[in-house]
A and B are shown apart, each in its own frame.
Chain A
Amino acid sequence: GAVVSQHPSRVICKSGTSVKIECRSLDFQATTMFWYRQFPKKSLMLMATSNEGSKATYEQGVEKDKFLINHASLTLSTLTVTSAHPEDSSFYICSVRQGGVISYEQYFGPGTRLTVT
């Protein structure tokens, strides 16, 4: 399966600042990547689908102006949390879609722990 990396692995930022998280597909050209948020002892919540060369598709309830997604190349998608607040503290995970349009698998990155103080 695809190998996915995320940078940074953990970040601490002050309230009101912005932070960028990178997701890289190291061995596969990914036209589609996904961004998830995982709360402690909770499941993964899909935030948005990132499509290379076009605008991301956000899930209901996710603020697109707060969580900016850019998928400028087939190997890189970025998630920028703008004007971060303590409630944005979470574990953010990206995944790469590999396979056909209908039947596909996802391969996940190691995640980024964001703490907003």
Chain B
Amino acid sequence: AQSVSQHNHHVILSEAASLELGCNYSYGGTVNLFWYVQYPGQHLQLLLKYFSGDPLVKGIKGFEAEFIKSKFSFNLRKPSVQWSDTAEYFCAVNAFGSSASKIIFGSGTRLSIRP
């Protein structure tokens, strides 16, 4: 069965620091990959997605992620974080050919930015 791992449960950074949040998945076939963000008190929003093509995808608010198939990873990056990036970040995967097409979420990483 497909699964998603986010190794960082809580990351604390200062403003302007660079960010990288890890995401690994377990599935040997074709996948779609997503990063979602949940700001305090708000609903989940799609940050970026990878379906096919260029493995480096750019999303909203200056975020990007790189799909490395050999490492089963889809890490999220941002060169310079802002206080407004404080939120919960979820990596998600949709694996094709599995029992049903559904998106499975990782456990989430809480990002706290110090002003």
Contacts and interface: CB of A to CB of B under 8 A. Distances in A.
Contacts of A57: 100
A93 B44 contact: yes
Interface string B78-115: 00000000000010001010001111111110100000
Interface residues of B, number: 24
Contacts of A109: 43
Contacts, number: 48
A41 B36 CA distance: 15
Interface of A: 1, 34, 41-44, 46, 49, 57, 93, 95, 101-111
Given A43-B107, A101-B101, 15 more contacts: A1-B46, A34-B103, A43-B90, A44-B90, A46-B102, A46-B104, A57-B100, A102-B32, A103-B52, A104-B94, A106-B103, A107-B46, A108-B44, A109-B43, A110-B42
Interface of B: 32, 34, 36, 42-46, 49, 51-52, 90, 94, 96, 100-108, 110
